[in-house]
Amino acid sequence: MRKLFFSELTSCKETKLQSATHSWLPMDKGKLSKFTGHSSSSSSIESLMKMPEPPVLPHFKPADYVDILAQIHEELEYCPPDEKSCLYLLQFQVFRGLGEAKLSRRSLQAAWEKASTIHEKLIFGAWLKYEKRGEEPISDLLGSCGKCSQEFKLLDFVSQISAESHGISYDDESDEFQGSPVVHFRIRDDMIACDRRKLAALSTPLYAMLNGGFKESHLEVIDMSRNGISPIGMRAISKFSLSGRLPYLSAESILEMLDFANKFCCKGLKDACEQKLASFVSSRQDAIDYMECAIELGCSILAASCLQVLLNELPECLNDEQVVRIFSSANKQQRSTMAGNASFSLYCLLGEVSMSISATSDVTVSFLEKLVDSASDSRQKQLSLHQLACVRLLRKDHAEAERLFNAAFTAGHVYSVVGLARLASLRSNKHYSLNLLDSVMSSRWPLGWMYQERALYLDGDSKLENLNKATELDPTLTYPYMFRAASLMKRQSVEAALMEINRILGFKLVLECLELRFCCYLALEDYRAALCDVQAILTLAPDYRMIGGRVAAKQLRTLVMENVEQWTTADCWMQLYDRWSSVDDIGSLSVIYQMLESDAAKGVLYFRQSLLLLRLNCPEAAMRSLQLAREHAASQHERLVYEGWILYDTGHCEEGLQKAEASIAIQRSFEAFFLKAYALADSSLEPSTSATVVSLLEDALRCPSDRLRKGQFE
């Protein structure tokens, strides 16, 4: 007797799935057991369709996005230059909460460009590099166009620091010195002669010692054996007092001089030593060793050099306990030394990276606690308190999570009420959860997420009524569609469930929704459609796991394919043309995924895949496909087109234009002319450009093409 697909799937281990005998599939190819014909189907579906609650998002989510974005825009126009980076960081957080990856990246780029201090420049530069990880090849492409990608380069900020006079502040020729003009310093068996006036000019304490009321002002020989300075170091200090420049010395000797400068408050000497030591920092271990010294002695230049090297290795460096200890144990003064006034930005970055590695780790908690300590205004406090509260909630530290959510809510972060409602529900007090939400909704115009959250604490028609209202106010919320579809599946109204999930997939591609639709198609025994969805899933996320993470999507694809008639290459091209022409983007992705398994022209297919992914608002997956298209290009002129699109899509229009022109010089093609027209239209606002763009598009239409793109263009 055939076994039910869902029943066996939910109970079997992956080791079973890997075996050759798939007992829940029929023996005869092309057929699966009828889903609706088994008494166990309802419970089987329920185990698959159980909808987890939407997560409490650790983002800055203001109640009125339009208002906060307008405020930021206005403040950017009138604020001093040194405040712009912080405002762009806030704008980045707002766009991140909206799920607008491209806009958030643009805000981060602006924060880097408007950085007013070395610390801000290196922190936002490291953040951009982290956001663009995997895009390092773009730096090579820019190099081929004679341009460098500055975010991927370490700042040579030591040479950028203004060459201030290294500190002869007290060298007044009218001053009368009581002792001889030359003073000798004895260091064990060595005697080092120094110019008394020049040495005294290095700092107020030295001036007082050599020409004040101290006995040393009358001595010609002063014993310095117990001051931690070697003869080599003292001779270098003497030379520095005469010339204002450091001689070439080992790092050990410069560290001695730095310690001397710190003891005797020699600012010019200290700055010179810091700059020299900063140039020695080239590895993670160097950065760790010198950072400890910099923090202890309050050396901000040296600390910045170390910080840059450490941040440049994110996220890998957070696996190093020494690095974590530096960041997690720093007090307020040490954070100031390490990051200047950009402490909040630093821990914002560290917190985000750490959360992506493990949201519940002690390291994440430590960084977010430092973020809370570094917050200086209301909006920063709202973000930091809410993020830490979310992590505490995930760690099941409910008492502390409640305190933090309440603090964030009190500070003005309305969305933090979601955390408070969840905690009340965990205490089996859903009535209090509803009261919290009702209180918020009665005091302002309700938002979609408020109704969605309220629905979690209701049942039956009231629950569905609130979810419907949530969709009405915010159609982009995923949970209401999935819950309604799952509910319909439980009632075995599979066609209705399919219609419901298609409502959101019509404008928003969500992996979980594709997975749910995959289950719907299996229930309807439409295995071709199920195969389409699982192949689209694998295009977006090659390592995706389905059924609550228990089964690899690739494995399910293999099993479903056994029940689908295989297409020939000609069939695939026909299917691709039909689906592309009818703007069935998910279907087109699926066909391309299948075609890539053959010996077809992979460069062209990956390029088509990238276009579809961009249309579906999946920029990261699109970039991955573009890079694969470049790797599999069949010719040099084709490769240049793909490189041009990579540059264009990462904001380098002029360089993309250069690649298009280089491709056309080799061979005229539809894609090269189309790229040139696109890049030219975006890089020039001159009225005459429009005519040129039209002419380029006409040239494109005169070139041979597989008609997929040309038909769409026409």
Q: Are residues 626 and 707 in the same domain?
A: yes
* Domain closes at, from 560, 585, 613: 560
Instruction: Say what the pLDDT of residue 31 is.
Output: 43
Residue that terminates a domain, selected from 369, 398, 427: 398
In this predicted structure, what is the pLDDT of residue 8? 43
Which pLDDT score, from 0 to 100, does residue 71 have? 96
Q: Give the tens place of pLDDT for each residue, 337-361.
A: 999 999 999 999 999 999 999 999 9
CA distance 647 to 625: 14
Work out the angle between the directed axes of helices 448-455 and 478-490 (0-180°, nearest 10). Answer: 40
pLDDT of amino acid 148? 58
Cβ burial, residue 159 (10 Å; 0-12/13-18/19+)? exposed
Q: Tell me, yes or no, whether 647 and 692 share the same domain.
A: yes
The tokens for 181 are: 């003009």
Contact between 448 and 466 under an 8 Å Cβ cutoff? The reply is no
Please indicate, yes or no, whether residues 553 and 415 belong to a single structural domain of this protein.
Answer: yes
Per-residue pLDDT band at 650 (split at 50, 70, 90): confident
Indicate the helix (H) or strand (E) that contains 546.
strand 545-546
pLDDT at res. 160: 54
Euclidean distance between CA atoms 249 and 235, whole angstroms: 11
- pLDDT top residue among 544 and 26: 544
Measured CA to CA, the distance from residue 36 to residue 518 in angstroms comes to: 16
- Would you call the peptide bond into 315 cis, given omega within 30 degrees of 0 as the criterion? yes
Q: Choose between 42 and 67: higher pLDDT.
A: 67
| Residue 62 confidence class, pLDDT cut points 50, 70, 90 | very high
Strand partners of residue 205: none
* 402 vs 433: CA distance, rounded Å: 13
Please name the helix (run of DSSP H) or strand (run of DSSP E) that holds residue 194, with its range, or none.
strand 190-195
Nearest to 668 by CA among 630, 700, 635, 625: 700
Between 247 and 319, the higher pLDDT residue: 319
Say whether both 444 and 524 belong to one domain. yes
Rank 238-247, 425-434, 505-514 by mean pLDDT and report only the highest.
Answer: 425-434
Q: Is the pLDDT reported for residue 601 higher than 90?
A: no
- Report pLDDT for 559: 92
Helix (H, G, I), strand (E, B) or coil at 509: coil
Helix 636-649, helix 653-666: angle, nearest 10: 170
The pair phi, psi for residue 517, each rounded to 5°, is -65, -35
CB atoms within 10 A of CB 143: 11
Q: What is the dihedral of CA 606, 612, 618, 624, to 10 degrees?
A: 10
Mean pLDDT of the chain: 86
Mean pLDDT check: name the lowest of 147-151, 442-446, 676-680: 147-151
Pick the range with the lowest mean pLDDT from 156-165, 385-394, 444-453: 156-165
Q: How confident is the model at residue 711 (pLDDT cuts 50, 70, 90)?
A: low
Query: Is 145 a residue whose pLDDT tops 80?
Result: no
Q: Which residues contact 77 (CB under 8 A, 6 or more apart)?
A: none
Total Cβ atoms within 10 A of residue 218: 10
In a domain, residue 566? The reply is no
Task: Give the pLDDT of residue 655.
Answer: 87
- Both 597 and 656 in one domain: the answer is yes
pLDDT at 5 over 60: no
Rounded Cα distance, 9 and 3, in Å: 10
Q: In a 10 Å sphere around its CB, with 0-12 CB exposed, 13-18 middle and 19+ buried, how is residue 319 labelled?
A: exposed
174 found inside a domain? no
Inter-CA distances, 188 with 191, 193, 236, Å: 8, 14, 17
C-alpha to C-alpha distance for 577 and 68, rounded to whole angstroms: 45
pLDDT > 50? residue 692: yes
Answer yes or no: is 142 within a domain.
yes
Give the Å distances, CA to CA, from 87 to 109, 114, 379.
12, 10, 10
Give the count of domains, the chain: 5
Whether pLDDT at 668 is above 60: yes
Q: What is the dihedral of CA 632, 128, 369, 81, to 10 degrees?
A: -170
- Min mean pLDDT across 185-194, 247-256, 462-471, 682-691 is at 682-691
Question: Which of these, 340, 344, 329, lies nearest to 307 by C-alpha position?
Answer: 340
Has residue 668 been placed in a domain?
yes
How many whole angstroms separate alpha carbon 380 and alpha carbon 408?
10
| Whether residue 375 is found in the same domain as residue 416 | no
CATH number at residue 707: 1.25.40.10
Q: What does the chain come to in residues?
A: 714
Q: Is 24 or 236 the better-scoring residue by pLDDT?
A: 236
In a domain, 164, yes or no: no
650 DSSP assignment: T
Is 291 domain-assigned? yes
Between 99-113, 260-274, 311-325, 674-688, the lowest mean confidence (pLDDT) is in 674-688
Which one of 378, 398, 418 terminates a domain? 398
The pLDDT of residue 74: 96
123 within 8 A of 139, measured Cβ to Cβ: no
State the pLDDT at residue 586: 93
Given a cut of 70, whether residue 452 has pLDDT beyond it is: yes
| Rounded Cα–Cα distance for residues 607 and 629 (Å) | 5
**pLDDT (mean) for 325-333:** 95
Select the highest-mean-pLDDT range: 29-43, 157-171, 626-640: 626-640
Between 244 and 43, the more confident residue is 244
- Of 247, 226, 249, which is closest to residue 238 (Cα–Cα)? 247
Considering just the CA atoms, what is the radius of gyration of the chain in Å? 33
205-231 tens-digit pLDDT: 888 888 777 777 778 888 888 888 889
Q: Looking at the predicted structure, is the pLDDT value of residue 69 above 90?
A: yes
**At 179, is the pLDDT very low, low, confident or very high (cuts 50, 70, 90)?**
low
Shared domain for 390 and 408, answered yes or no, is no
Q: Which of 509 and 390 is assigned the larger pLDDT?
A: 390
CA distance linking residue 290 with residue 305, whole number of Å = 9
Give 550-596 pLDDT, tens digit per residue: 899 999 999 999 999 888 888 888 888 888 888 899 999 999 999 99
Are 298 and 337 contacting, i.e. CB atoms less than 8 angstroms apart? yes
Q: Is 293 helix (H, G, I), strand (E, B) or coil?
A: helix
* Whole-number pLDDT of residue 26: 35
Which range has the worst mean pLDDT, 88-102, 197-211, 332-346?
A: 197-211
Give the model's pLDDT for residue 56. Answer: 96
Structure tokens at 70: 């307008």
Percentage of the chain lying above the pLDDT 90 cut: 56
Residue 630 domain boundaries = 572-713
**Residue 162 falls inside a structural domain:** no
- Worst-scoring range by mean pLDDT, 117-131, 153-167, 699-713? 153-167
Query: Does 420 share its domain with 394?
Result: no
- Whether residues 543 and 441 share a domain: the answer is yes
Q: Report whether 168 contacts 288 (CB < 8 A).
A: no
Same domain, 373 and 504: no
Residue 408 and residue 389 in contact, taking contact as beta carbons nearer than 8 Å: yes
In a domain, 173, yes or no: no
Same domain? 668 vs 605: yes
Give the pLDDT score at 702.
87
pLDDT band for position 7 (cuts 50, 70, 90): very low
Do residues 337 and 440 both lie within one domain?
no
| Bridge partners, 187 (sequence order) | 190
Q: What confidence score (pLDDT) does residue 453 get?
A: 97
pLDDT band at 47 (very low <50, low <70, confident <90, very high): low
- What pTM was computed for the model? 0.85
* 198-211: average pLDDT: 87
Give the whole-angstrom CA distance, residue 711 versus residue 23.
46
The residues facing 223 across adjacent strands are 186
